[in-house]
Amino acid sequence: MEQNTCLITGANSGIGRAAALQFARLGWRVLLGCRNRERGLEAEAGIRGQSGNREVRLVAVDMSLQESVRRAADEVGKTCGRLDALIHNAADFDLSRKTPVFTKEGVESVWATNHVGPVLLTDLMLDALKKSPRARIVTVASKGLLMHPLLKIRLDDPEFKNGGYSVQKAYYQSKLAQVMYTYWLAERLKGTGVSAACVRVTNVKIDIHRYPNLSPFMKFMYSIKSKSSISPERMAETYVFAATAAELPAGSGSYLDEHNRAVASSAYSRDPENIAKVMELTGKYMH
């Protein structure tokens, strides 16, 4: 029987790394999609050692750059014919950022990393996913969206080129777009062996050393927040569930909380017309 394969982006730290270890322990071949080679190799060696599974391999990818996403997809396609799970975990959420940062391809970094990159990667991996008898695409959103029930995608200016930027606004917009993308994907994939689910990540412990530029106030806020947070390992269990459960609670396109229960997203995000507009906008970024 062919070994199951998953690709997890942002797998060198936090929830992504914890999920990679859980898949490795299940005997899957695990591809670690990481932008930093050194941190990626460290994760590769660590997960191999902890799981005893040699089929854990780094795939270099910077999710903010389409050129890099294409190169990584090409590598994955050539080295393993089929993909059973694709987990879009990587995210740009540096809360110390005060002004928008644009990638060398000219796209605002949060929008590029958290939304455009995952949509492109899915597109490029679809043939490999369709070779699996039952494949799953897992996107990642945030429970923090509950604090922004009226949030909409800025269809006329998703990159804040006309002002109004805050990294929080950019981040939640990108996560809302991922929720809407998952619904769109689920519809589009009906009748294939591939389905989609979105995980609503709750408050999960973060390694604060990864964000050295945070202000003392933000560090203090994180230390307060961490008192009620769950571990990356615990949250990763939902990634594994979302990728492997034969049936998702509400069928294809489920939005799942940390207890693997289906939860509802905002009325705006569920509206098919809004979803179509967001995906039309997203399509304009693909080159």
Q: 124 vs 206, which CB is nearer to ligand NAP?
A: 206
Q: 132 vs 269, which CB is nearer to ligand NAP?
A: 269
Site for ligand NAP, rule CB under 6 A: 9-10, 12-16, 35-36, 39, 61-64, 89-93, 113, 140, 142, 144, 201, 203-204, 206-207, 210, 232
**Smallest gap, in angstroms, from Cβ of residue 250 to ligand NAP?**
21
Task: Reduce the secondary structure of 224-278 to three states and give it as a string.
Answer: HHHCCCECHHHHHHHHHHHHHCCCCCCCCCEEECCCCCECCCCHHHHCHHHHHHH
Q: 43 vs 132, which CB is nearer to ligand NAP?
A: 43
**Smallest gap, in angstroms, from Cβ of residue 103 to ligand NAP?**
9
For residues 111 and 171, is the Cβ–Cβ distance under 8 A? no
**Smallest gap, in angstroms, from Cβ of residue 197 to ligand NAP?**
14
For residues 139 and 182, is the Cβ–Cβ distance under 8 A? yes
Report the amino acid identity of residue 266: S
Closest CA to 249 of 235, 234, 240, 259: 259
Q: 16 vs 158, which CB is nearer to ligand NAP?
A: 16
Rg (CA), the chain: 18
Q: 132 vs 240, which CB is nearer to ligand NAP?
A: 240
**Smallest gap, in angstroms, from Cβ of residue 10 to ligand NAP?**
3
Say which of 165, 171, 183, 239 is annotated catalytic: 171
For CA atoms 71, 74, 79, 80, the dihedral sign is positive
- In three-state secondary structure terms, 199 is strand
The region, left, alpha or beta by phi > 0 then psi within -120 to 50, assigned to residue 52 is left
Closest CA to 59 of 81, 82, 36: 36
Residues 118 and 89: their CA atoms lie apart, in Å, by: 9
User: Please, which residues have CB within 8 angstroms of residue 242's CB and are 6 or more apart in sequence?
Assistant: 136, 138, 197, 199, 248, 254, 256, 260
Query: Which residue, judged by CB position, is nearest to ligand NAP in the bound state?
Result: 14
**Smallest gap, in angstroms, from Cβ of residue 190 to ligand NAP?**
26
255 is catalytic: no
Closest CA to 51 of 76, 82, 32, 28: 28
**Smallest gap, in angstroms, from Cβ of residue 64 to ligand NAP?**
4
For CA atoms 66, 119, 30, 62, the dihedral sign is positive
Q: 14 vs 132, which CB is nearer to ligand NAP?
A: 14
Catalytic residue numbers, as ranges = 171
